[in-house]
Amino acid sequence: MSLGLDLSYLERSARGEFDLGWLKETSSEWGMRAVPSKTGLTMRDIAIGSYGVVPDHAPRRTMAPRGSDVASDVPDMGYTINDKSEVWADNVLDLYEEAVSRQWSATRDIPWGDLRPLDPDVEHAMCQLATVLSEVEMVAADFPAKWLWRINHDFIEAKMFLCTQVMDEARHTEVFRKRALANGGGLGKATAVVERFLQLILDAESYDEGSALMHLLGEGIVLSLFRAGAALAPSPVEQQIFRLCMQDEARHVAYGTMHLRYRLERDPSVAEDFHAYLDKGEEIIAMIFSTPEIVEPTAILAAGSVEAACAMGAEAGDVLRRQIIGDYLKRCDHAGLDRRGRLHLPDALIAGVPGAQVEVAV
């Protein structure tokens, strides 16, 4: 492939005969000046003039910065996601800024030195939960990474946000791996059920499908696990780990919810497609509540020991179950997708969740 090297230009420019076409033939908005807001120069601050206009359909498939003067002979990069509604969310600029501002370090920001020996039951439970979380978090990096290069550059803010997610998830994988290894317990068991869910996300045939399964459903579940982990933390170390991860995960879920809302507002006809994705995905919720490697460590952390967890039975996990399903329904509702009455979950799992069952008018 010829890159189009112009040898004669080397000679002309050496003589000082510059081309200056880039300077003369420009349609840039000279004089348009972005003004920093009080936290600095944000992405929203630079969304000004034509630079802030994100096209509903990208006119080209290039890496040219949106708003730049694009040469007519730029190559086609072959992007497959060229409609804004496929990736956009109205909160994506703010979420990007938030993500960059609220980054943290699993090495520096966790008080690892405060770890203390735990009851063996609790240490085993924490290590098993850390194993599962270290396993599942990386899919939320793999999935955006798989789709990033297919997303048109005109939607750069959405791509940038997804890049922050990739970094967030790398850090989550890191921090849970570190926790498993930091207090003498070590890694626990990886299961086929979890791996099948990860495969479902990774093999999604469209960004729509994968985003619904991951941002909305999967990360919503993990967000609830993080909340539970922070609430049940046996020491300030775990409390800090789960709190920081919770903040990150809630950003991803907020993107997923608002992305789905944006998508449905522009094309309500795709609602049935999303229902179908979630019909399939919700079976995962049922499977998770049938997976000992997830249910039992959480119950032991809640109860304090294996014996106490056995005595409590399902009660130990009820708060988590109600929160996962309740929050999920609220997010679907906010996105404009009413899943009430359509949930693909056994009655035993939706019992006690407000609004999960359709009320029959008397």
Partner 1 sequence: MSAITESFPSSAWFDDLVARAQVDTTAMERLGVAELRFGMEIVLPDGSRPFFGLVLDGYDIDAIGPITESEFAPEVVFSGALDAWVEMIGWIEANGPADSAHSLNGLTIAGVPFEARSSDAMGSDKFYRFMGTLQAVFDAAWSELPVPAGRG
Sites of contact with partner 1 (CB under 8 A) = 37-39, 94, 97-98, 101-103, 223, 227-228, 230-233, 236, 239, 243-244, 246-247, 249-251, 253-254, 257-258, 319, 323, 327, 330-331, 333-334
C-alpha–C-alpha distance, residues 290 and 165, integer Å: 29
State the CB neighbour count (10 A cutoff) for residue 218: 27
For the bound state, the minimum distance from the C-beta of residue 154 to partner 1, rounded and expressed in Å, comes to 26
Contact 327, 223 (CB under 8 A): yes
CA 141 to chain centre: 8
For the bound state, the minimum distance from the C-beta of residue 335 to partner 1, rounded and expressed in Å, comes to 8
Nearer to partner 1, 52 or 336 (CB): 336
Nearer to partner 1, 81 or 356 (CB): 356
For the bound state, the minimum distance from the C-beta of residue 205 to partner 1, rounded and expressed in Å, comes to 26
Nearer to partner 1, 49 or 236 (CB): 236
Nearer to partner 1, 81 or 245 (CB): 245
For the bound state, the minimum distance from the C-beta of residue 322 to partner 1, rounded and expressed in Å, comes to 9
C-alpha–C-alpha distance, residues 137 and 314, integer Å: 26
Nearer to partner 1, 61 or 331 (CB): 331
C-alpha–C-alpha distance, residues 186 and 67, integer Å: 51
C-alpha–C-alpha distance, residues 153 and 75, integer Å: 13
Cα 220–Cα 224–Cα 227 angle in degrees, nearest 5:
135
For the bound state, the minimum distance from the C-beta of residue 103 to partner 1, rounded and expressed in Å, comes to 8
Sign of the CA dihedral with 316 first, then 227, 109, and 218 last: positive
Contact 86, 162 (CB under 8 A): no
Nearer to partner 1, 154 or 248 (CB): 248
CA 108 to chain centre: 23
State the CB neighbour count (10 A cutoff) for residue 29: 12
For the bound state, the minimum distance from the C-beta of residue 303 to partner 1, rounded and expressed in Å, comes to 14
